Amino acid sequence: MVALGTDRLLYSWGSSEYGLNGNGAKDDQFVAKQVKTPAGVTFSQIAPFSLTALALDTTGNIYAWGHKGYEYGVIGNGSDKDEPLPVRIAPPAGVRFTSITAAQRTSLATASNGYVYAWGANNEGQYGNLTKVSSTTPVAVAP
């Protein structure tokens, strides 16, 4: 479980499988603990889903952690490994993310330029761009 506190910081508890608690802990947590994020970063939205979590910071950057989404790279940082600590998902140049959605194998974000960005699985056309080409980093799919 992950929650956004009134202090705009992230807190997690429960299963540590795949690094889902976002703080490097190997054991399950029975009380809420702060997710390890860079100093000074605060958040405006979270999108937890099953084995992966996304968080949108107040400046338009996305942080992700947990399960990589099998071969699909649902974390979004181009990696093919699980992430036990939040990693920053770099937006395309000149783009600021404004909202996020996490699903089992696909992640989505809207951006300040009016586009939707997707990453992770697209094997069943989840991106809505008339392809089945998946990406491990955000790609624009629709205005």
pLDDT tens, 42-78? 999 999 887 889 999 999 999 999 877 666 666 788 8
pLDDT tens, 105-139? 899 999 999 999 999 889 999 998 999 999 989 99
The C-alpha atoms of residue 121 and residue 25 are separated, in whole angstroms, by 27
Whole-model pTM?
0.90
Give 111's DSSP letter.
E
Which domains does the chain show, CATH number per domain? 2-142 (2.130.10.30)
Q: CA torsion angle for 23, 57, 76, 39 (degrees, to 10)?
A: -40
In this structure, the number of other CB atoms found within 10 A of the CB of residue 73 comes to: 22
pLDDT at 32 exceeding the cut of 70: yes
